[in-house]
A and B are shown apart, each in its own frame.
Chain A
Amino acid sequence: MNAGGTIVELQGICKSYGLDTPVATQVLHGIDARLAEGEFVALVGPSGSGKSTLLNIIGLLERPTSGRLSIAGRDTAALGEADLTELRGRTIGFVFQFHHLLPGFTALENVMMPAIIDRGLADAQAEARARELLAHVGLAGAERKKPSQLSGGMQQRVAVARALALSPRLILADEPTGNLDTKSAEAIFDLLLQFNREMRSACLIVTHDPRLAARCQRRIEIVDGRIVGA
């Protein structure tokens, strides 16, 4: 894996909803973009501009209506549902706006979950890695706590640790600091930057916060489903 390689490549990505209805709406109009390995990029734009849709398409949660998407060098159009699921699990880590932790599981189990899904069951290696990650995000000692016993900032830190569980080459974060106070938001952002530097994971972060966007290496701005600035 060379640092100059491409992790995400988008060519003419279009997305429309409701094509089989009379009120079809096109959300994305021919997006061309490229994300290099280890890059730290902000995705900005007003509400309804198509940021989340683009993130979901890159995250392989949705398929584009047309256009070409390559993840880690693999053309996704040719992949079936099972391959997409596997590629998603191994290559991409998600951090959502609302932490989206599994409420029935402890912080440690939540961080182990990607490894459990990937390997079929929890092994010692997954547990060691999860403990290490939790310590790294400053939550050593909170392993046994359920999400409901943690503050919003702590929950989001668990979510960041979970996204990193399988050392993904790409981290997609959809407004990860959106519902946090400034201090917690800074802390989460710092964590993502730190992991980006240490593990060379590429990061694509949707954010409304211009201060945070300014700290990224690069900004991609979309308005009405078109890239207006990169």
Chain B
Amino acid sequence: MKLRLPFEWLVALRYLREGRMQTVLILSGVVGGVAVIVFLTQLITQLQAAIIERTLGSQAHIVVRPPEEVARRSLPPQSTAAIVQPRSQRLRSVDQWEAVLGLAADTPGVVAVSPVVSGAGFALRGTANQAIALTGIDTERYRRVVHVDRYLVAGRFAVGGPDTVIGVELAKDLGVTVGDRIRVLTAEGRDELLTIVGLFDIGNRDLNRRWVFVGIKLAQSLLDLPGGVSNLDIVVDDIFGADAVADRLRVQTGLQVDSWMQTNAQLLSALRNQSVSNGLIRAFVVAIVAVGIASVLVVSVVQKQREIGILRAMGASPGRVMTVFLLQGGLYGLVGSGLGVALAIGLLHFFARVYRNADGSPLFAPEIDSGIALGACGVALLVGLASALLPARRAARMDPVQAIRT
């Protein structure tokens, strides 16, 4: 004989087995609910992560720029009319950028800071020419801000001296590849002959056509910005905390500081809306599952009324009778959520096979975050216990004489 279970477990498990149909039905309800929650949460989390990664993969989380130049009225106050023309913004350096860089690097939450010199120019080869965005960087520092190596399709990512790294589209337009030379010309009238050492593909045609990476010194001389940088690119550890870090830097430096959250406000609100609707779906599913468990147990308590009376007559205290029903609710939640997580894993594998990116790679990885899985099980357990509370109390408060007589 293997029945060595504590009284409460023995009775709870036997009642679950006895009400086979009820148990199977409510369990499949819990399984379905948990599977939907885990699957949806995982799917949305992964898709959002992929979208953010794609958006932020090629841009800094925070960009520090010199303040915009504004035109001020210099007429005496009693003059009657004036037309104030907005000023055109010329390329300027961030004032005392080394100090700002030090300040930014010491700000909590900041992972890396990279000085960047960027401006407009033209790339020429033979009769072909293309408008480009000249970006002067320090290879090592920039690597920590944008994972350029990940996008590299040929050569290596190392700029400095006459070495440059350009996008695949620009290379195609100019008919060049790694090892070839191109001439770069800027509006300042300076030009330089560069050697291509690497090609990248960021996955955005426009950026692939326009971005040209060169060493910071070369960019400074080409853009006539000796010793200066046009902006500082910053990466933070918590991407959704970028706004807070940006606000702090703005106050501290008086410079123009933009976070990705401001420049991608629409994307962000779309992601937020998605999260809110996911939260709503979750709340409704949890509520429905809770009502389901509670109603099954209420029926069970009524069905078992006489047995509860007998158990009480045999010396079972109200507390232990209550435990019997709480256990049933908890088991519904725990077993249901375990199976639900398993079902969600199955669903993810299935949909990962069905939905693919344009390049054939899966749209999302069919993996379950253990935090989400454990969280779902924990919530299901609590919901099970909470929904059992009312029926269990009813069972515990039953008058044994009345219960046996009915």
- Closest Cβ of chain A: how far from B399's Cβ, in Å? 8
Q: Is the CB of A104 within 8 A of B315?
A: no
**A100 on the B face (CB < 8 A):** yes
Q: Cβ of A85 and Cβ of B315 under 8 Å apart?
A: yes
B residues 1-35 with Cβ under 8 Å of A?
Answer: 1, 3-7, 10, 14-15, 17-18
A205: shortest Cβ distance to chain B, in Å? 16
Instruction: Using A121-B5, A121-B6, A122-B10 as known contacts, say yes or no to A59 and B307 having CB atoms under 8 A apart.
Output: no
Residues of chain A contacted by B404 (CB below 8 angstroms): 96, 100
Residue A225 interfacial (CB < 8 Å): no
Contact sample, A vs B, 12 pairs, CB 8 Å cutoff: A81-B317, A94-B314, A100-B306, A100-B404, A102-B310, A103-B18, A117-B320, A120-B7, A121-B7, A122-B3, A122-B10, A162-B314
Q: Is the CB of B315 within 8 A of A116?
A: no
Partner of B1, one of A61, A113, A127: A127
Q: Are B315 and A61 neighbours in the complex by a CB distance under 8 Å?
A: no
Query: Known: A102-B307, A104-B18, A120-B7. Is A62-B315 also a contact (CB below 8 A)?
Result: no
Q: Residues of A at under 8 Å CB distance from B?
A: 56, 59, 61-62, 81-82, 85-86, 88-90, 94, 96, 100, 102-105, 109, 113-114, 116-118, 120-123, 127, 162
- Return chain B residues, CB-CB under 8 Å to A105: 14
Which of A56, A81, A104, A162 has the most chain B CB within a 10 Å cutoff? A104
Task: Report the separation of the CA atoms of residues A116 and B4 in the bound assembly, to the nearest whole angstrom.
Answer: 9
Residues of B within 8 A of A (CB): 1, 3-7, 10, 14-15, 17-18, 306-307, 310-318, 320, 400-401, 404
Residue pair A89, B315 in contact (C-beta under 8 Å): yes
Q: How far is the CA of A105 from the CA of B11 in the complex (A)?
A: 9
Which residues of chain B come closer than 8 Å to A90, judged between CB atoms?
Answer: 315
Contacts A94-B313, A100-B306 given: A109-B401 contact, CB under 8 Å? no
Q: Is the interface of B mostly helix, strand, loop or mixed?
A: helix
User: A61-B400, A62-B401, A100-B404 given as contacts; is B4 within 8 A of A121 (CB)?
Assistant: yes
Task: Name the CB-closest residue of A to B6.
Answer: A121
Residue of B3, B15, B306, B312 ringed by the most chain A CB atoms within 10 A: B3
Would you give the shortest CB distance from B311 to chain A, in whole angstroms? 7
Chain A contacts for B3, CB-based, 8 A:
109, 122
Instruction: For the complex, give the distance between the alpha carbons of A117 and B315 in Å.
Output: 7
Most buried by A among B1, B5, B6, B306: B1
- Output the nearest chain B residue to A62 by Cβ-Cβ distance: B401
- Return chain A residues, CB-CB under 8 Å to B401: 56, 61-62
Which A residue's beta carbon lies closest to that of B316?
Answer: A117
> Known contacts A102-B307, A104-B18; is A122 also within 8 Å of B5 by CB?
yes
B400 contacts across to A, CB distance below 8 A:
61
Which listed residue (B15, B306, B315, B318) contacts A88, Cβ 8 A? Answer: B315
Contact across chains for B313 and A61 when beta carbons are under 8 A apart: yes
- Taking the closest CB of chain A, its distance from the CB of B321, in whole angstroms, is 10
Query: What is the bound-complex CA distance between A90 and B315, given in angstroms?
Result: 7
Residues of chain B within 8 A of A81, CB atoms compared:
317-318
Q: Hey, which chain B residues are within 8 Å of A59, CB to CB?
A: 313
Once the chains bind, are B4 and A122 in contact (CB under 8 Å)? yes
Cβ–Cβ < 8 Å partners of A114 in chain B: 314-315
Q: Would you give the shortest CB distance from B331 to chain A, in whole angstroms?
A: 15
Contacts of A104 in B (CB 8 A): 14-15, 17-18
Complex CA–CA separation, A150 to B164 (angstroms): 92
A137, B401: Cα distance in complex, Å: 27
CB nearest neighbor in A for B311: A117
Q: How far is the CB of B236 from chain A (nearest CB, A)?
A: 56
CA distance A215 to B314 in the complex (A): 28
Query: For residue A123, which residues in chain B have a CB less than 8 angstroms away from its CB?
Result: 4
Give the distance to chain B from A201, nearest Cβ to Cβ, in Å.
Answer: 16
